[in-house]
Amino acid sequence: MIEFHEKVEISRFYDPSEDKEKQEEIVIRHDPLTGKSCRILDKSLPISKEADIEDEIVSGFCPFCPDNIYDIGARDSRVLNNKILENGEAVLLSNISPYAERSLVIRLTEKHYIPIDDFQKKHFTDALELILKYLERSSNQGYANIMMNYLKPAGSSIVHPHIQLLVSDTAMDHQKRVVKAAKEYHEENGSDYWSDLLEKERGSDRYLEKYGTWEWKTPYAPRGLEHIQGISLKDFRSMGKNALQDLSSGIVDTLRYYDDLDFNSFNLALSVSPKEKTEGSATIIDIVARSSFDKYYWCDVFALTKLQDEPYSNKFPEDIAKEARTFFGSDQLREALEQNNK
């Protein structure tokens, strides 16, 4: 049975600038599957509306730019026999700083830098198709993780848009806890956690939109700023082009929402179960905004998150969903109108 738990703590302090006592509410919520806690403080962030990043995004030497990628891009020797996979502007290469047995990088765009609201569905769809091709050919059918760090606040050392693919026999810590908890839920309740969660969330203040097999919402206990989550009960390894386009639509809509809030940096992570699917597994993508990249940007990950593993959010998921909902569904509506007008 899925339950949502929260606790409210009150912080009181004297503000000499206004000569009065004030109080702030800290809401502590727990993820209904893993029990992981997070803290929500409804407070505005110091985000610049006109970020000064011109000096940072100028392309000097970049391994992913068209003039360099074919000459110096590392090739996968175990699966692709030193060949490069390409699809549109997407190019799949080996990562020279590997984090798993299979560690790949997928260059998304030929252009060195693009604002987050300029990402197109095709950019992500082409890259995801390459990832599926690689997974099909790989002998390692274990846990896969698809991740993206965009700009320095998100941990990226290269401006050029790219995605990482890690394939390992050992699950990431969060992935391991989610798979374990979902399996235990299935054993205790005789039903699938993710199916039950979606049924409970549909029509809630956190629900956003449904694109094909993908359903989008804000998690009850967010793990970062403006956390948006997509869930598909379909196994990623068996997804066709339509499902990948639907996934890409949700990513692009999320990034347009972030841009509207003046964010320009983000992380995303998509977890893929082993080929032998376990009970209670699903395909989950999590996207969070990072502090906006600026000449003197601030880092939104501090000791609370880094060392105590306690996420925080500056907004309630219900408020995030209310804002983000206007950015979801736009592509589908436009496409439907275009088809009707033909």
Q: In this structure, is the dihedral angle defined by the CA atoms of residues 169, 275, 268 and 305, taken in order, positive or negative?
A: negative
281 close to 243: Cβ distance less than 8 angstroms: no
CA atoms in the 13 A half-sphere facing the CB of 177: 8
**pLDDT range class, residue 82, cuts 50, 70, 90:** confident
CATH number of the domain within which 145 lies: 3.30.428.10
335 found inside a domain: yes
Same domain, yes or no, for 18 and 95?
no
58 found inside a domain: no
Q: How far is Cα 112 from Cα 233, in angstroms, rounded to an integer? A: 35
Q: How far is Cα 184 from Cα 151, in angstroms, rounded to an integer? A: 38
- What is the model's pLDDT at position 279? 60
Quick: pLDDT tens for 234-286. 999 999 999 999 999 999 999 999 999 999 999 999 998 887 665 667 999 99
Average pLDDT, the chain: 92
- What is the model's pLDDT at position 330? 62
Same domain, yes or no, for 249 and 321?
yes
Q: H helices within 190-240, ranges in order?
A: 193-201
> Starting from the edge strand earliest in sequence, which strands make up the sheet with 5-15, in order?
5-15, 20-30, 37-40, 312-313
Same domain, yes or no, for 13 and 75?
no
301 found inside a domain: no
Quick: pLDDT tens for 6-57. 999 999 999 999 999 999 999 999 999 999 999 999 988 888 888 899 988 8
52 found inside a domain: no
Residue listed under structure tokens 């198709």: 129
If residue 167 lies in a helix (H) or strand (E), which one and from where to where? strand 162-168
Q: Which domain holds residue 30?
A: 5-40
How many helices and strands, by DSSP H and E, does the chain display? 9, 14
pTM of the model: 0.94
Q: What is the C-alpha radius of gyration for the chain, rounded to an integer number of angstroms?
A: 21
CA atoms in the 13 A half-sphere facing the CB of 291: 15
**Count of structural domains within the chain:** 2
